[in-house]
Amino acid sequence: MRIIPAIDIIDGKCVRLSKGDYATKKIYNESPLEVAKQFEAHGIKHLHLVDLDGAKASHIVNYKVLEKIASQTSLQIDFGGGLKSDDDLKIAFDSGANQITGGSIAVKNPETFKSWIQKYGADKIILGADALGEKIAISGWLEESDKELIPFVQAYKEDGIKYVICTDISKDGMLEGPSFELYKRLLLEVPKINLIASGGISTFDEIPKLAEMGCEGTIIGKAIYENRISLKQLEEYILKN
């Protein structure tokens, strides 16, 4: 299972939120590049980079941060937050993203999102399926849609999606553990997707449990920044696996 630390960006700084609430913003580092280099130094190969300003503005904002990390580390970066147009996508890939994550766009403009899968291929486009009470949330989690999580993922699997990041918003940033039951059901009902678990990871023991369930990756954010999970532990896990 891939270990994918998260860097969330507001005003070019590395921050974390609780349950996606911008009012809970906590700055952890002024330099996302410095954080990314620490990850790389501990054998981490992947990074989940989220443009929270972009999510709010509905267009890419922090692409310079992406460019800096992509050009000065060898991390494989998946980038999300506010990607709404073909131009946004071009900027993200030109700035060094290996994959992009589309969430709101997949709900509000499915034709555009499907055209991205066709144009760039299913290895480059990740479906962001972020849910609150199993309803998909959009616009930086500021809005709830009428889409039910499992049918939403199933429909996009039929359209060729291979990778899905699923965040239970009620768990995100709360350090209370991930939604094991939700992921179990998702993997059962939509088999053969690469499910990336996100939200609520709080202790190292949860990581092998997610791997055993069949998750392809896990995104870890606040647990790293609050020293609940050390980079050393992640480095040892990566070396063993």
- Alpha-carbon distance of 174 to 20, in angstroms, equals 10
Report angle CA 104, 112, 126 to the nearest 5 degrees. 55
Closest CA to 169 of 203, 126, 209, 139: 139
What's the pLDDT tens digit per position in 83-123?
999 999 999 999 999 999 999 899 999 999 999 999 999 99
**Helix locations, 32-164, DSSP H:** 32-41, 52-57, 63-72, 86-94, 104-108, 110-120, 149-158
**Average predicted confidence (pLDDT) for the chain:** 94
Instruction: Confirm if 158 and 152 have CB atoms less than 8 A apart.
Output: no
Closest CA to 196 of 210, 208, 206: 210
Other CB atoms within 10 Å distance of the CB of residue 29: 15
As given in the structure block, the two tokens for residue 101 are: 């994550």
Q: Which residues are catalytic?
A: 8, 130
As given in the structure block, the two tokens for residue 36 are: 């990314």
Instruction: Confirm if 176 and 196 have CB atoms less than 8 A apart.
Output: no
3-state class (DSSP) for residue 112: helix
Domain coordinates in residue numbering, the chain:
2-240
Superfamily of domain 2-240: Aldolase class I (3.20.20.70)
Per-residue pLDDT 10s for the chain (241 aa) are 999 999 999 999 999 988 888 999 999 999 999 999 999 999 999 999 999 999 889 999 999 999 999 999 999 999 999 999 999 999 999 999 999 999 989 999 999 999 999 999 999 999 999 998 889 988 666 677 899 999 999 999 999 999 999 998 888 878 889 999 999 999 999 999 999 999 999 999 999 999 999 999 999 999 999 999 999 999 999 999 9
As given in the structure block, the two tokens for residue 241 are: 């696996």
- Alpha-carbon distance of 227 to 172, in angstroms, equals 16
Sort strands 76-80 and 46-51 into parallel, antiparallel or unpaired: parallel
